[in-house]
Amino acid sequence: SQQGEEDPQALSIQEGENATMNCSYKTSINNLQWYRQNSGRGLVHLILIRSNEREKHSGRLRVTLDTSKKSSSLLITASRAADTASYFCATDPYGQNFVFGPGTRLSVLP
Amino acid sequence: NAGVTQTPKFQVLKTGQSMTLQCAQDMNHEYMSWYRQDPGMGLRLIHYSVGAGITDQGEVPNGYNVSRSTTEDFPLRLLSAAPSQTSVYFCASSYSFGTDTQYFGPGTRLTVL
């Protein structure tokens, strides 16, 4: 598996439901970031969580980090059709350049 | 602020041709980078720069050159295009290396025939 790998690869939910995506990584990190990419567009930063943090919130987004399990989760609450996008986690193995996972494709159906 | 801009948005090349993908940012960011995005593989780092005059290789640098003569600009040159370089290319910048939010350009979709 890759350094950062999201799970599931694809997720389809109804509007109003919560969406949870997970990211697993292999090495020690200083930071983990989540990005969103709408179809045909560039990536947009959502949240950065540092290795000494366990949870961060931003609006309807909640990110957790468990360094002992080398995993993170992104929760989107009360999802909207506009949340339809691909979501990527990016980790900085040993504090070096960020490495992106292959992403989770989220579809929110109206 | 325009943020990170990239030109062109689309490009078709023939095998062996060369070209330069342009990237510029107006946020006075020191760190700039180039990624390529292929289906199912996420983004892979090609080259990066931590400041004017300083560049280094990323994960997949072969076939690409970069230079950083100013803080604002970070062009990516394809020396002799190959079909394997068909991809979507993204430029990104951040205030500093490593810990900061990266701001991405809209991408260049390149097809090499």
DSSP assignment of B9-78 equals: SEEEE-TT--EEEEEEESS--SEEEEEEE-TTS-EEEEEEEEETTEEEE-S--TTEEE--SSSSB--EEE
**Residue at B16: amino acid letter:** G
B50, two tokens:
């931590």
What is the C-alpha to C-alpha distance for residues B107 and B87, in angstroms, rounded to an integer?
A: 10
Token match 């690409």: residue? B64
Q: Say if the Cβ atoms of B106 and A101 lie within 8 Å.
A: no
Q: How many CA atoms lie within 13 A of B46 on its CB side?
A: 26
- Would you place residue A2 in the very low, low, confident or very high pLDDT band (cuts 50, 70, 90)? low
* Whole-number pLDDT of residue A10: 95
A25 contacts chain B (CB < 8 A): no
Rounded-to-integer distance, Cα B18 and Cα A108, Å:
41
pLDDT for res A97? 83
The string of pLDDT tens digits covering residues A56-103 is 999 999 999 999 999 999 999 999 999 999 999 999 887 778 889 889
Q: Closest Cα to residue B100, out of B25, B18, B32, B26?
A: B32
Between B105 and A40, name the one with better pLDDT: B105
pLDDT attached to residue B98? 65
In chain B, the residue whose alpha carbon lies closest to the alpha carbon of A42 is B106
Q: How far apart are the first and last CA of chain A?
A: 34
Cα-to-chain-centroid distance, residue B55: 12
Q: Does A30 touch chain B (CB under 8 A)?
A: yes
Spatial CA neighbour of B23 closest among B12, B34, B37: B34
Nearest chain A Cα distance for residue B69, angstroms: 21
**Residue A1: per-residue pLDDT:** 47
> What residues in A contact B98, CB-CB < 8 Å?
30-31, 92, 95-98
B61, amino acid identity: P
Number of alpha helices (DSSP H) and beta strands (DSSP E) in chain A: 0, 11
pLDDT in tens, chain B (113 residues): 789 999 999 999 999 999 999 999 999 999 999 999 998 778 999 999 999 999 999 999 999 999 999 999 999 999 999 999 999 999 999 988 766 788 999 999 999 99
* Torsion angle defined by CA atoms of residues B3, B17, B111 and A33, in that order, rounded to the nearest 10 degrees: -40
Q: Hey, what are B109's tokens? A: 């979709």
**Pairwise CA distance, residues B20 & B77, whole Å:** 4
Strand partners, B29: none
